[in-house]
Amino acid sequence: MDTHKTFVVVGMSCAACSRAVERAVSRLPFVSAAAVNLATEKMFVSYDDSRGTEQQIRDAVTAAGFELKDFKEQAPGKAPTDRMAEYRKARRRFFLLLVFSLSLIYIAMGEMMGLPIPAAISHMNNYALNCYIQLLLCVIVMVIGRQFYIGGFKAILRGAPNMDSLVAVATGTAFIYSVYGMIAAFRSGEHTMLYYDSPAMIITLIMLGRLLETRQKGRTGDAIDRLYALAAPTALVEKNGSTVELPVEMVQSGDICLVKPGYKIPVDGEILEGETTVDESMLTGESMPVEKKAGDRVTGATVNGSGALRVRATAVGADSTLAGIIRIVEEASGSKAPIQKLADVIAGYFVPAAFGIALLAAVIWLIAGESFDFALKIFVSVLVISCPCSLGLATPTAIIVGTGVGARKGILFKNGETLQKCSGIDTVVFDKTGTLTVGRPEVTDIVPADGVTEDRLLQLAASAEYTSGHPLAEAIVTYAEDKGVALLPSSGLATVGGRGVTALVDGETIVAGNAAFMREQSVELGSLEAAASRLAAKAKTPMYFAAGRRPLGVIAVADRIKPDSAEAVSRLRALGVKTAIITGDNRQTAEAIAAEAGTDSVLYEVLPAGKAEEIAAMRQNGRSVAMVGDGINDAPALATADVGIAVGSGTDIAVSASDVVLIGSSLSAVPKAIRLSRAVLRNIKQNLLWAFCYNTLAIPIAAGLLYAFGGPLLSPVISAACMSLSSVTVVTNALRLNFIDLERK
């Protein structure tokens, strides 16, 4: 059977590394899918555990020159600390490098810069000792930065050179040449130019770039960290007749938790006692508090209002809603968008090409008559500047930030492919009941017949429908109870399928149903029929009531449109997106809802299977379609659409069949999802454009193109600074997505 697992890959430095790991694992015959994310340093693998083992995957990664560690899923409330630990370690290493590199620059170039140098170690007075000190300091720097040489030369031996290989060869060449020059100078007695400062400063600057990159990459995960931090750290739990405060991870399913006013609800559960309002904005993005009472469900990490609650825990730890959200966001942030494939292919060939270009440029300059020292500078500069790190980071950093922003707004993208697809949506199709509408019928109008009061009509109607169980009947009963109407004893309920009911109430036979049923019962409706027609034209369902053959009146019930549905449709139109309703309801009701919501079109009397067929037809006509639904009957259409968007309050089947999950019930998240996806894709294109332009322009300049026409020559040290800056620029640009305004119209 297929097994899906997440690993942490240790030792990757550039896109060539991630591609090497991905290629090594994908070649295993029992692996169906493998995706490596450079930004998160994670690998997602799907494999058949009946044909192969996890150890074989580990062996393949080891053979590729990297280390595989298990990914440990954190409990909500405990954000991962790996990123900060990595940053602190890199910072300590950088400061050591900086001290020794600056000391080397001081010893090597202090006299030329006019700085005071002790005579005993000066270049002019004691050349040999000065050289030995430079050699010693350079060796110390190279030992501190040994990761470049260990990883780089191993990659070369495997036939898969990477960024570390470029740095190792470039700095190693400069070092060996300097040692050779120093020995030759000692033999000849003539001072020669040494380049110990170049390897030292290159390594230091590249380490600075990695330090900044690590810091910025850590910030891309801040949104996920904030999700972890949402959970309540502790819970008040009833134990053995007393109340004890426990860490939230120790709460078990079935425990009774006490939630004080203003405190976070610690677990998913059911309210046993109390009434309150709950702020669910941190999970749903919806600002309005939700009223809760005994019997209602509550979600962990939401904030209790002014009422005290007793809550029975139903889902804790990894089974909680918050843990599920975090899991989806992390999986999505680690997945690849289709646009990344081209970048991965290019990065795979880039490093070998860089070696070839560097060598060719050096040879050309030697042929042109330049010195070996000059050619060496060219060789080192090209190798250092051509690292494809920015190319490898362009897509994943934007996806990480984008999915995190979406999660904060109650929008969960299940993978990077969905995030990209969503940007191209030009048609959004809404299910009606429970999606555009509340999904709960309510009484909207009471029209009594002549000589009958509203209260009497409501009393007799609710009494007759009390035991019916039909959703429309329950709406009438609930309305009567809310109004404080005293119900009368009823008996003899008889249901006539699809038409109505009869019941004995207060000694009279009460008839309830549609117009056809009333005519069967010889009830003269008179002016009530016209009133019922007007109500039906407004997407309301009219029900007639009579006592014997005497009409009592009409009660209309409707599933109200959600308050923000029309606004969501309007915002989609502003984005250039067409909208439609697809429903099994009759034409009159469907068109009335469509008019109220403002959709461009409506498809009515469509069976569940027909919904998927209609979506397929739209796609065949060249439309890029998103389907928004909440019910079991929507699942086929959600799966058929280019992007399936499930309202989080819907069924598990609808959610599992979708690509995007809206945590709340608000449809305002739909235009937000499209706006966010377009912003992410735009950001990715900016990053890729920068990466391509950087490498296209930087390599020829480093090879001496400008110098050939009288311009400046790019030194190896400047090349190192440019390379580091390119990666930091890409990550920083991705971070701008944190400030996107999804609320604007």
227-266 pLDDT tens trace: 667 788 888 999 888 888 888 888 888 999 999 988 899 8
139 vs 151 pLDDT, higher one: 139
Tokens of residue 501, six digits: 């009911």
Assessment of whether the complete model's pTM goes beyond 0.85: no
The radius of gyration of the chain's CA atoms, rounded to the nearest angstrom, is 35
Per-residue confidence (pLDDT) for residue 466, from 0 to 100: 86
Per-position b or e across 447-480, b if 16+ CB within 10 A of its CB: bbbeebeeeebbbbbbbbbbebeeebbbbbbebb
pLDDT in tens, 92-146: 888 998 899 888 888 877 776 677 888 788 777 788 888 899 899 999 999 998 8
Question: What pLDDT does residue 426 have?
Answer: 94
How far apart are the C-alpha atoms of 600 and 569, rounded to whole Å? Answer: 9
| pLDDT tens per residue across span 31-88 | 888 878 776 778 888 888 888 888 899 888 888 888 888 776 555 555 555 556 667 7
Q: Pick the residue with more confidence: 609 or 268?
A: 268
Q: Look up residue 199 and give its two tokens.
A: 């390897």
User: Taking residues 366-389, what's their average pLDDT?
Assistant: 82
Choose between 444 and 631: higher pLDDT: 444
Catalytic residue flag (residue 652): no
Work out the number of other CB atoms within 10 angstroms of the CB of residue 371. 11
Dist CA 601 CA 694 (whole Å): 47
Kindly state the average pLDDT of the residues 146-172. 80
Chain centroid, CA 491 distance in Å: 56
Residue 651: pLDDT over 50: no
Mean of pLDDT values over 545-566: 89
Q: Which two tokens stand for residue 99?
A: 């001290």
Q: What is the pLDDT of residue 213?
A: 63
Asked if pLDDT for residue 223 goes beyond 70, the answer is no
Residues 582-598 have a mean pLDDT of 82
Q: What is the pLDDT of residue 570?
A: 93
Instruction: Kindly state the average pLDDT of the residues 628-646.
Output: 80
CA–CA separation, 111 and 555 (whole Å): 99
Could you read off the pLDDT of 168-197 as tens digits, one per residue?
Answer: 888 888 888 888 888 888 887 777 667 788
Count of alpha carbons within 13 Å of 141, Cβ hemisphere only? 33
**CB-count exposure of residue 172 (10 Å: 0-12, 13-18, 19+):** middle
Residue 427's pLDDT is what? 94
Q: Of 426 and 689, which is predicted with more confidence?
A: 426
pLDDT for 117 equals 80
- Select the more confidently predicted residue: 469 or 317: 317
* Average pLDDT, integer, range 529-539: 84
Which residue in 73, 34, 400 sits closest to 217, CA to CA? 400
DSSP 726: H
Highest mean pLDDT among 68-82, 331-345, 495-509: 495-509
pLDDT on residue 360? 92
Q: Where are the beta strands (DSSP E) in 347-463?
A: 411-413, 427-431, 442-448
Pick from 548-557, 581-590, 635-644: least confident: 581-590
Could you give the 3-state DSSP secondary structure of residue 586? coil
List 255, 268, 431, 659, catalytic entry:
431
pLDDT at 173: 83
Give the H/E segment covering residue 496: strand 490-496
Antiparallel, parallel or unpaired: β 625-629 and 643-647 = parallel
Determine the average pLDDT of the residues in 1-17: 77
Predicted confidence band of residue 473 (pLDDT cuts 50, 70, 90):
confident
Region 189-214: mean pLDDT is 75
Distances in Å between the Cα of 141 and the Cα atoms of 108, 162, 163, 377 are 15, 21, 18, 20
pLDDT at 336 over 50: yes
Q: Which residue has the higher pLDDT, 77 or 627?
A: 627
Tell which residue, 332, 344, 390, has the closest CA to residue 680.
Answer: 332
For the chain, give the mean pLDDT: 82
**3 state SS for 117-152:** CCHHHCCCCCHHHHHHHHHHHHHHHHHHCHHHHHHH
Is a pLDDT exceeding 90 seen at residue 618?
yes
3-class DSSP assignment, residue 561 = strand
